[in-house]
Structure 1
């Protein structure tokens, strides 16, 4: 296996306090990389891109999934695309020695661009070359390098088994490194929990350059990287996953209802039943602007579902639990689990699973902004009615609000099992999104202000004390760290929204593994030793 040779490379790396200038940073950092002792024939020179390199821009732009961050001035001085573990270790060592911060990128889908944007001298470790996947069907496990996408993972599973799957998201180009470390969820969540709940081992490089597995990193660090984000604690190299059984035939459907078809009342009922449905059934709602046959604007609610069974089982279940939707056999399609991945990702019928290997967005890139919420009590009719006018505004042309149900397995896992705390008691999760195509600060602010107003409106109807948020939908509006030292109290403003009481344990882990806070960004976990500092 590709991981067996890793543990022969464990150099001792000392932490340095950086007082170097940017001029010193660039050339000396690169020379440090070249002189670092590597243990194989893979030359690091072929993995290093400075701003003077002709391929620099194409390498940087390839994994940028949000055009908001494609033309900003705060770009990395150097991009390293490691071919082996020692290249990461060299980058960690030399970054500390020459006053560079690190950003680690696996897929580039982070909503605030934190994996490739910084206001200080920094280097990007782009894991795009570390994407190998080794399947062990007999033991229902897989080792997945952190640079692989979830699409590549799904494809690899489908090539080996028709009755195994993995609970992760619906967007194939998302990188496994960030997706899993932030929790990761999809249509198997109610049956099997999050991606992070199904990780049984990992390999991570810490700030001292040591390559650790679950045994050598210890249970505290292993706990922290499964939902607490990996970038605060090290550079994740690979995950060992527990694959889950799926039936050879599943059923999917999409049913649209507009306001004039009683969409509001159907959503009201959905809130009462969605988290109580059979664990094999997940129905989420996508809401956005639509146009009626008469050409009038309206709001459409799309009920999108995966059922781990056949149509003959689904129809009676829906008639009993959710007859208001009016589901009929003609709305449903039976297919394999891997085909349901293509269906949910928006690919056309009969498309080859090879499309899962594509690392770019299906519908092209756009400028976008996202936010999130959790709901513990049903939103009343008046709350929903107040939401609809937002979709008639000009900025909402490509906006959506998505409700994803909880319950079932998510109710069975304690809040402290992983850093991801949003478990029992939540009816559903909300994702808000807005996108636009035209560049310019004025255009960006119009759309960002729109989603902020929407978010403000929803405050009455969502979780409180704290108003919870989902880490993988990074949102710098809810709080940021300082450029220098950040106090525990300052970080708690955003930290408790993502992690609730688990934030305390995350800071203790951080204190143990990175006491000088080398690995930091605008929303990184601070060490406790910085508590109270300005």
Structure 2
């Protein structure tokens, strides 16, 4: 009797199923599953790192930004899988789903609450780290680029610069951001007032869905495509590629940083900035970095400094004219200004020294690794000077606080709140980022976290209301959390409305359609609406189909 190929396959499936015993480790089961589904031309064995591997800690720590989630007490993954191909990501999803292994996905490690590399609510878990998927293919003739999710935004900027000095892309200020997660949250940057967000300039995408299929814009449909451009990472699938639209930039870009302390009328100037920055020429992005510093008048005391850190798409002569007309209070002079190229202006805003070669962007290394807690707010009415005085007092109480105010207006006002899931548009004057940083690990963490929570409470009267808005890429678990493998729509509404406003309900409907079993989940992932228990039971029984 001659057996058919299908019977051989059935026997093979049976043998593999039998081998997946409870005594086998999660890693062994995962490897067997990968072997079964993987393309043999793309071996994966060297891409799995367990705690017993000498490289495990280096890989885990490589792109993690918040050191709070790398302390010994933080949950660690069973292993880290670093796919080498898109197909590896597909089989990782397929196998984690069939084996019931919870996965987290990391592209750049900038998640403020460590959700891409730590699971506080569900163990065991694994990390799928996209760091080896970082191709950037720029097509100047088409004014576009296909970029892989593991590339940093700095690498994207460099590859554009490599092909043209009059093209750019409006995305992040920090050059080590992984583009996969960055754009899923919106991706604001120094050209947002001119061109909108990074997510506003996405033409296409490729994503692995909950069934392990790779979908592009056409095959996923417009609703799915809408959700991934601002709906936050880790809810709908694993982003593989973005196709982005390049934007024109001038050959000459001007940058400056001017610092004013309380002794130099900082309060009055900041108060004026609130009115000016969102309405000034859209070619100018002028943020304010606020922090304590030693007083020049009395070295034993601290004061508050406000640093106006800016990028202008044009030459210094035009910039000085704009500032003289709209914001003479800052007293900007020709000596304060530096004319440079767009790529060098990006590096300036990111904090690189002026003589740093652009090639450093290819290293993809972070310049910011700290123990920190962060929060965010959006402001729709100028904070009065009395409110600012109270804010300064509270900043002086903390060891190392930092606030960054990013102006809105310009092109941001031209998008409706529902064009993409990112809703913080017309009427927003600026966004506040609050940070407190420390160096002694988790020893005194509660002290600093308590301080920033009190500061956040103090700011309540001065920021957006109903809802109090927050930026999804500045994750804040104080706003609420999902429970283990159980995302309650009612509970999630508390933080979902803050991140997405009315778009949250639409995101939930899309999640329910594309990932009803909640394969992609974390502490603040979008919840699916409940489906019948029988439907889930039927699907889970088909383990190796």
TM range (shorter): over 0.9
Indicate the residue corresponding to 2:525 in structure 1.
Answer: 524
TM-score, structure 1 normalization: 0.93
**Secondary structure of 1:374's partner?**
strand
1:308 equivalent in alignment to 2:320: no
Q: What is the SS of the residue equivalent to 1:275?
A: coil
Indicate if the aligned counterparts of 1:111 and 1:474 stay in contact, CA closer than 8 A: yes
Aligned position for 2:4: none
Matched, 1:472 2:476: no
> What corresponds to 2:49 in structure 1?
49
2:258 is the alignment partner of 1:251: no
Q: For 1:494-513, list aligned pairs within 5 A.
A: 494-513=495-514
**Structure-1 residue corresponding to 2:65:** 65
DSSP 3-state at the match of 1:529: coil
- Counterpart residue number, 1:411: 413
Indicate the residue corresponding to 2:276 in structure 1: 273
Q: Does 1:148 align with 2:188?
A: no
**Where does residue 3 of structure 1 map in the other structure?**
none
1:344 equivalent in alignment to 2:349: yes
Aligned residue for 1:490, secondary structure, equals helix
Name the CA distance, whole Å, in 1 between partners of 2:133 and 2:362: 14
Q: Identify the residue that residue 236 of structure 1 maps to in structure 2.
A: 239
Give the Cα–Cα distance (whole angstroms) in 1 for the partners of residues 386 and 526 of structure 2.
Answer: 39
The alpha carbon displacement at 1:484 in A equals: 3.2
In the alignment, the residues of structure 1 paired with residue 253 and residue 446 of structure 2 have an alpha-carbon distance, to the nearest angstrom, of 43
Which residue number in structure 2 is paired with residue 15 of structure 1?
none
Please list the CA deviations of residues 328-354 of structure 1 after superposition, one character each: whole Å capped at 9, or x if unmatched: 111111000000011111111121001
Q: In structure 2, do the counterparts of structure 1 residues 25 and 530 end up closer, same or farther at CA, with 3 Å as the change threshold?
A: farther
1:84 alignment counterpart: 85
Q: 1:361: Cα distance to partner?
A: 2.4
Gaps of 5+ in 1: 1-19
Partner of 1:14: none
The aligned counterpart of 1:5 is: none
Give the alignment of 1:218-237 within 5 angstroms.
Answer: 218-237=221-240
Q: Which residue of 2 aligns with 1:367?
A: 371
Q: Distance in 2 between matches of 1:315 and 1:397?
A: 36
C-alpha distance in 2 between matches for 1:21 and 1:104: 26
Structure 2 gap ranges (5+): 1-19, 533-545
CA RMSD in angstroms comes to 1.5
Once the 2 structures are TM-superposed, how far is the Cα of residue 390 of structure 1 from its aligned partner? 1.6
- Distance in structure 2 (CA, Å) of the matches to 1:124 and 1:27: 12
Aligned to 1:7: none
Match of 2:403 in 1: 401
Pairing 1:429–2:431 present: yes
**1:22 and 1:121 in contact (8 A); partners too:** no
Q: Tell me the CA shift for residue 486 of structure 1.
A: 2.1
221-230 or 349-358, larger mean C-alpha shift: 349-358
1:26 Cα deviation after fit: 1.0
- Matched with 1:102 is 103
SS at match of 1:220: helix
> Shift in Å at residue 40 of structure 1?
5.1
Q: Give me the TM-score of the superposition, normalised by structure 2.
A: 0.91
Match of 2:134 in 1: 131
**Equivalent position to 1:390, from 391, 394, 405:** 394
- Post-superposition offset of 1:113: 0.3
Between Structure 1 and Structure 2, how many residues are aligned?
A: 508
Larger Rg: 2
Residue 25 of structure 1 deviates from its aligned partner by 5.5
Determine the C-alpha separation between the residues in 1 that align with 2:29 and 2:456: 43
Query: How many Å apart are 1:530 and its aligned residue?
Result: 6.2
